[in-house]
Structure 1
Amino acid sequence: MSLPDGTRAELIDGELLMSPSPRTKHQDAVLNLASHLREYVRGRVVGRVFVAPLDVHLPSGDIVEPDILFVSTANQAIVQDWVRGSPDLMVEVLSPEGVERDRIVKRDLYARNGVREYWIVDADARAVEVFTLRAGRYEPNGYFKSNDVLLSPSLAEFKLPVAQIFAEYPAEPGR
């Protein structure tokens, strides 16, 4: 089966899953977080950061398009025409249509494929959940809210005030 260029689709557990184009709130969060990650990575020459759309061909045969991914220098052999293997870090920014897919299906898929760290960014809650792979399963490694500083077990010295991910969002009462 062939899809038109630009079609957002993933192949997970043999099922072709289509996604609508992301909304502005989603894209603001992706761009802000990816920019900070890229700045961190470039300053330390520790790997590369990519954003969707980019196919990641996992060892299981599944093909996904995470919103953001990081591949360490030690893992650069997987960076080819697409990424062919398991990145060190995958990030998904939740969208209304993909909450279950990102929180359950992709979390399990990424763990099975050896992705060392997984972040779920919740734009509505203005928060980031960090999961670390241990013994083939993800364990929570932090829930960072808007007034917290995001830390990464895989990226030494990476520190980002979570509020900067959501900088373009209008102020909401009580936040």
Structure 2
Amino acid sequence: MNRPMRAAPRMTTAEFLALPETPDGSRLELLDGEVLAMNPPSRAHQRVALRVASALLVWTDAATGRGEVLPEIGVDPGSASILVPDIQRFAAGRDLPADARAWPVGDLVVEVRSESTARYDREVKRERYLEAGAREVWLVDPLTAAVVVTRPGEPDALLGPGETLTSPLLPGFSLPLARLRVD
């Protein structure tokens, strides 16, 4: 006799945020009420995330009024979802919580590609970030040192390892993508 499969119960953002941290430190995300477990990032992923974050921190710290850069802060883009981008930059003057498990989406959101989440980052998370007010999303590929830059209302820009990443959100910022190459 065939039994119907039961779907996992949906969870609200409040229920998700009330969950204890995972004992092994693994990261969970909530998408449309469904809890997703993320695989631990690879060495290449982490090295590239650190290089991008370092470049953003150097730019931010070089002058006052450049906002704040934070890694792996959970954000609430709506739709019963809590997502955890690799890096975010919040513009100066944003009203940000002092301490919260779910922040608003940053002005700049950076996702570093992982084999297990590439499609999810590209097809779902990027759209959620933009819908929630991100002004720019960078999808960084650690294997090729390429970056896809998405801005609302504009076609995506693909930059390769021989190019330099700049942004109208970050006057004077530049990151030669060759620096992201991980051997």
Q: What TM-score comes out, normalization by structure 2 length?
A: 0.82
Query: Which range is displaced more, 58-67 or 94-103?
Result: 58-67
Alpha-carbon distance, 1:61 to partner: 4.5
Find out whether 1:163 has 2:174 as its counterpart. no
Q: Which residue of 1 aligns with 2:83?
A: 64
1:108-119 equivalence runs, <5 A: 108-119=127-138
- What residue number does 1:80 align with? 98
Larger Rg computed on CA atoms:
2
2: distance between equivalents of 1:79 and 1:69? Answer: 14
User: RMSD in angstroms over aligned alpha carbons?
Assistant: 1.7
Segments of 5+ residues of structure 2 without an aligned counterpart are 1-14
Bigger strand share: 1
- Does the C-alpha gap of structure 1 residues 101 and 161 become closer, same or farther in structure 2, counting only changes over 3 Å? same
TM-score by length of 1: 0.85
Summarize deviations over 1:40-88 as a string: whole Å, max 9, x none: 0111221010112x2223354421110010001121x124313521210
* Aligned pairs, number: 162
Among the aligned pairs, what percent are the same residue?
33
Give the gaps of 5 or more residues in structure 1: 171-175
**Compared CA separation, residues 139 and 44, structure 1 to 2 (3 A):** farther
Matches within 5 A, 1:1-175: 2-3=19-20, 4=22, 6-45=25-64, 46-52=66-72, 54-75=73-94, 77-82=95-100, 84-134=103-153, 139-140=155-156, 142-166=157-181, 169-170=182-183
